[in-house]
Amino acid sequence: MGSEPARGPDRGSRLASVVTFVRDLDQSVEFYRELLGMRVTVRTSTAALLVGSDETQLYVRAIGPGGEHPLGAVGVQYVIWTADSIEDLHRCERALKERSAHTTTREMADGYTMVEGRDPDDLPLVIAYPGPQVAARSEIMPRIYAW
C-alpha cells in the first residue's frame, strides 16, 4: 500500500480533462490550439488530445457532419476557460474576432472579465480573467440562464 499525499484545505479534486465531440477534427484542433495555446500531444484519424500549459487536457473527437448538441438539454453546456493574463484574454478576444466567432466581452461585478464566443461547431465558449482562485465568484452569473 502506498501512502497518499497530505491534503490541505486547498487540495482536492480538480478538473483535468474536457471531452468534446466535433464535426471537423482538423478545423476544431486548429481552433482550440490557436485560441487556447494548447499543444497536440496525441492524434489519430478521428481524435486528438490537446494539452494546455497547466496540463489541462482537451480531447476532441470527430463524429461527422450530422452531430448535434442541443442547448438546454441535460449535460455539460459549456466550459469556462481561464486566461493566463489580461493580455492573454485580449489575445483570445482578438482570435475570436478574427474568426467572426466573438459574441461579447463583459466586465463582471465580481471583478473578472468574460470573453464569449462560439467554436467551429457553434458551441458556446467562455474565457475569463482572472480565474476564480484570484477573483472568487460570489454570485451565480446570469449567463447560465441565457443560452
The domains found in the chain, sorted by start residue, are 13-65 (3.30.720.120), 78-147 (3.10.180.10)
Q: Is the torsion defined by CA of 142, 19, 66, 33 positive or negative?
A: positive
Q: Other C-beta atoms within 10 Å of 136: how many?
A: 10
- Contacts by residues 50-55 (CB-CB < 8 Å, ≥ 24 positions apart): 53/84, 55/16
pLDDT band for position 126 (cuts 50, 70, 90): very high
- Predicted confidence at residue 12, as pLDDT, reads 78
- Cell triple for residue 109? 461585478
Q: Look up the pTM and report it.
A: 0.82
Q: Tell me the pLDDT tens digit for each residue of 80-107.
A: 999 999 999 999 999 999 999 999 999 9
Average pLDDT over residues 72-79: 76
Between the alpha carbon of residue 39 and those of residues 7, 54, 89, 121, 123, the distances in Å are 30, 11, 18, 20, 21
Instruction: Report the DSSP beta bridge partners of residue 49.
Output: 42, 59
Average pLDDT over residues 107-119: 92
Between the alpha carbon of residue 111 and those of residues 64, 93, 107, 136, 140, the distances in Å are 40, 18, 7, 9, 14
